Homo-oligomer: A and B are copies of this chain.
Amino acid sequence: MIRWTNFDALESYKALNALNKVDLVKEMSGENGAKRAAEYSVPMAGGLAFNYAAKAVDADTLKVLAQLADEAQLTEKYAALYNGEMINTGEKRLVLHQLTRGQLGSDVIADGVNKREFYAAQQAKINDFVAKVHSGEIANAAGEKFTTVVQIGIGGSDLGPRAMYLALENWAKNNGCFKMEARFISNVDPDDAAAVLKSIDVAHSLFILVSKSGTTLETLTNESFVKDALANAGLDASKHMVAVTSETSPLAKSSDYLAAFFMDDYIGGRYSSTSAVGGAVLSLAFGSDVFARFLNGAAEEDKLARNTDLLSNPDMLDALIGVYERNFLGYSATAVLPYSQALSRFPAHLQQLDMESNGKSVNRFGEPVDYVTGPVIFGEPGTNGQHSFYQLLHQGTDIIPLQFVGFKNNQAGMDVVIQNSTSQQKLCANVAAQIMAFACGKEDDNRNKYFAGNRPSSIIIGEQLTPEALGALLAHFENKVMFQGFVWNLNSFDQEGVQLGKVLAKRVLAHETTGALKVFSDLLGI
């Protein structure tokens, strides 16, 4: 029997509060530090490992965190979710994104359909379409192959797929499986669509319109932009566009599109990269085989997230350390710092995933909670960030926990030796160095050159950013956010906080405003 209980009503909440703080400077120095670095590591899928040696936890902390996992019934709640219980209570929806990449528990039948089969069938339909596009069986009016795919979508229809595309672009180019360039149009700012349209050859471009409801204003507006551009080029828009939407949306059976691929209400936008939302664009760009490998990586990580032993469950462990930092160490933000240029937009995806899921003040019953919930998430790739905001991370007045990611090998297979090391070695040396600099700091009589240390980080280390590794990485953070939502007793799968702005924007456009809103509308020339 699952109990949905507020975090501060749990016994382990008190136990966590009573813990002695861990001194990272001491823990990470000398032989003890070496032992931690070697032992505080959990295997992940895709050849990755989650290393938490430089987190401010010790055996005592981990013991209480394991009690918390048990008391908060994290494993049971995860099982309830993937077995099809209605976890998104606010919107009365199941939460099934894990089913898009595998079968974890029992069959989930909803709306009279086996949902695993439904998602697999949609991807099979995509694969069939993709094969025809790549072979030229589906081509433009002149019978020429499409060379570019343009995703039109915003939020979850943009950030995740875009981050995944950038993550694999160079890997695909270097491994002979790069099929089509992908571009993305998201913002309602007309300069966004204009810039993308100017940079592509529309006659050889295939557009994917992505909107679950089929009513997202930004996306419909940008569709209209694209249709104008196609018409101006003398092209039939319906031969250049496909839709990714729900079966009940106005886009589902429109003759405006070459094809329609479906997701449903059980896939939240920010969890949709492994559904048709990511499936269409990524399969067109890299081939269906690569997308299947990406799904496999995610599915394997989902399996690890079932482990009941906290210390062999990387997703749950990461989640609970994060909760400890947020609620008991008082840290209000987390920086995501991938030492991989390919992950340049991965932090922007995690920003949505995490902040939209757990940036909430009421529990799943709509009651205000008395503890802090989701942190601010931000980040940029290393080493770039070192030359930017790391100053504050090292010597600022607030402590910001850090999430590093690093790979032994690069993707493009090009490198150069300068001062006796390759660029890849320099990249990896920097992330190793940063972990230790943040943890242990440095004494100096000149306080300007003094580093207090005790700034916690974890690192996910892999061989190379492959499709499997990327899938595992994505699922890791999805599952981390899910577990944190369970602990905080939130509904991590709705987003009521985005509604008010939409309502007021409509009022502005209808000129139905008074007071300050009218003044701001006037100032902005509306």
Contact = CB atoms under 8 A, between A and B. Distances in A.
Number of chain copies forming the complex: 2
Interface string A473-498: 00000000000000000010011111
Interface residues of A, number: 159
Given A170-B191, A520-B435, A366 B500 contact: no
A359 B497 contact: no
Given A386-B498, A415-B190, A429-B505, A34 B391 contact: no
A136 interface: no
A126 interface: no
Given A348-B380, A433-B504, A359 B427 contact: no
B333 A520 contact: no
A352 B504 contact: no
A313 B338 CA distance: 40
A503 to B, nearest CB: 8
A33 B398 contact: no
Question: Main SS of chain A's interface residues?
Answer: helix
A175 interface: no
A435 B449 CA distance: 41
Given A355-B396, A518-B34, A524 B192 contact: no
A388 B333 contact: no
A152 to B, nearest CB: 13
Contact of A391 (B423, B449, B497): B497
Contacts of A357: 391
Contact of A447 (B367, B433, B521): B367
A187 B383 contact: yes
Interface stretch (A102-110, A154-162, A242-250, A273-281): A154-162
Given A29-B515, A33-B516, A447-B362, A427 B393 contact: no
19 contacts: A38-B519, A154-B383, A189-B427, A190-B427, A221-B426, A225-B423, A332-B332, A351-B380, A355-B392, A356-B389, A359-B393, A359-B394, A362-B395, A374-B392, A394-B500, A409-B525, A432-B505, A432-B508, A433-B507
